[in-house]
Amino acid sequence: MLSLDFLVGFTIFLLALIMVVSMVPGLLAGLESSGIDYDAVAYRTGVILVEDPGWPVSPPWESKGVEHKDKNIIVGEEGIQRMGLAVSREAPNILLSAKVEKFFNDTFFDRNDYRSKVIFGDIPYSYRISLRSLDDTYHYMTGDLLPADYGYIRRVVKIKEPSWTEIVGSNSNYWTAEPTMPTQNFIVRFDFSQLRDQTISPVYQIDPRRESVNVTITKFEEYHNDTTNDMILQHIRFQKVGVADDIPFEYEIEDPDLYILRVDGNLHHLTPNTTVSENISLVLKPAATADFPLDDDSILNIHFTFGNTKISGTHNYDYKTPPLKTGVLEVAIW
């Protein structure tokens, strides 16, 4: 039989051994590698870019100018918090072209913006983010040259491009045989409740607050009223139905961040008072309407005022959408 002293001593020895064994991993922790899983950071960044529309959503982050890019507590400005490229959370891997173009504008964003609004984390990561469509329409890259060792993720995506509507001169719906006024007013109407029909996929919904829209009038010469005088585009105005005032921005300054107006292929501001021979193309960008109170039930009218033409009436924006473009998004982090 073992003596009582031996049992007590052996018990103390076992307890001490257990304590030492449990402490060893902690003692050696400082000697272990503290490497970062760059693949995980790249994966997280890729998820943010292709599965998230970013924040804020309304007005969208891509519509913000330099003065509203960062948070301003004094005026209650939220600023850009996250730069996601997806059309919506319900449509992952479908990127909106307006977001793509703004994201890769590295004269607008700097390195700290990319790190704080899409990569995140306390470490000042280096990065390279690129997007290329298979037809090379989109070929963007921002960041640094790749080192020997880095984390990496590749995502196959689709890119949604701006919609458009086309009014053809032979369309008798907008043709007035004998105009009673020296000027004619033609309206293109955006009914948000129809364009954002919730019964269809977000990929095919149209929202002028978040993406560009294109209005094109072709074969305009067929609307000529008196061939002895030129047809004139006097001005273009934007109005919300139920509001008397125009959407407030400079109509007499060419601003490609707000709109692009081409008359017979030549660039103009919105009060051109110029001759039209063949066609008119107007691209309205989200920044033009972002600060105007437009909700999901709003109706936005674009008023075209012409001289010496037979065109009149209202055209509902029965849009067409280009096929989605296939592309590859690559994220490298180190």
Return the exposure string of 170-182: e unless at least 16 CB atoms fall within 10 Å of the residue's CB, then b.
ebeebebeebeee
Q: Is the pLDDT of residue 121 over 60?
A: yes
Q: Which amino acid is present at 77?
A: E
Averaged pLDDT, 105-116: 93
User: How much is the pLDDT for 31?
Assistant: 45
User: How much is the pLDDT for 72?
Assistant: 65
What is the longest distance spanned by two Cα atoms in the chain? Answer: 129
**Structural tokens at position 7:** 């049992």
CA dihedral defined by 25, 30, 36, 40, rounded to 10 degrees?
20
Nearest alpha-carbon partner for 211 in 95, 41, 81, 77? 95
User: E-strand spans in the chain?
Assistant: 94-96, 127-133, 139-143, 151-160, 163-168, 183-191, 213-218, 231-240, 259-263, 266-268, 274-276, 280-284, 299-307, 313-316, 325-333
CB atoms within 10 A of CB 269: 15
In whole angstroms, how large is the CA radius of gyration of the chain? 30
User: How much is the pLDDT for 77?
Assistant: 66
The pTM is what? Answer: 0.78
Upper half-sphere CA count for residue 90 (Cβ side, 13 Å): 8
Q: Which of helix, strand or coil describes residue 172?
A: helix
Q: Is the pLDDT of residue 319 over 50?
A: yes
Q: Which amino acid is present at 310?
A: K
Torsion over CA: 252, 255, 260, 266 (sign): positive
Q: What are all long-range contacts of 15-18, with beta carbons under 8 Å and residues at least 24 apart? A: none
- The string of pLDDT tens digits covering residues 145-202 is 999 999 999 999 999 999 999 999 987 788 876 666 778 999 999 999 999 888 888 8
Least confident of 99-108, 242-251, 300-309: 242-251
* Whole-number average pLDDT of the chain: 88
Per-domain boundaries in the chain: 38-160+324-333, 163-316
Confidence of residue 287 (pLDDT cuts 50, 70, 90): confident
DSSP track, 7-66: HHHHHHHHHHHHHHHHHHHHHHGGGS-----HHHHHHHHHHHHHH---B-TTTTGGG--G
- The string of pLDDT tens digits covering residues 271-283 is 999 999 999 999 9
Q: Residue 103: which H helix or E strand, with range?
A: helix 97-103
Upper half-sphere CA count for residue 185 (Cβ side, 13 Å): 7
Q: By CB neighbour count within 10 A (0-12 exposed, 13-18 middle, 19+ buried), where does 312 fall? A: buried
User: How much is the pLDDT for 32?
Assistant: 46
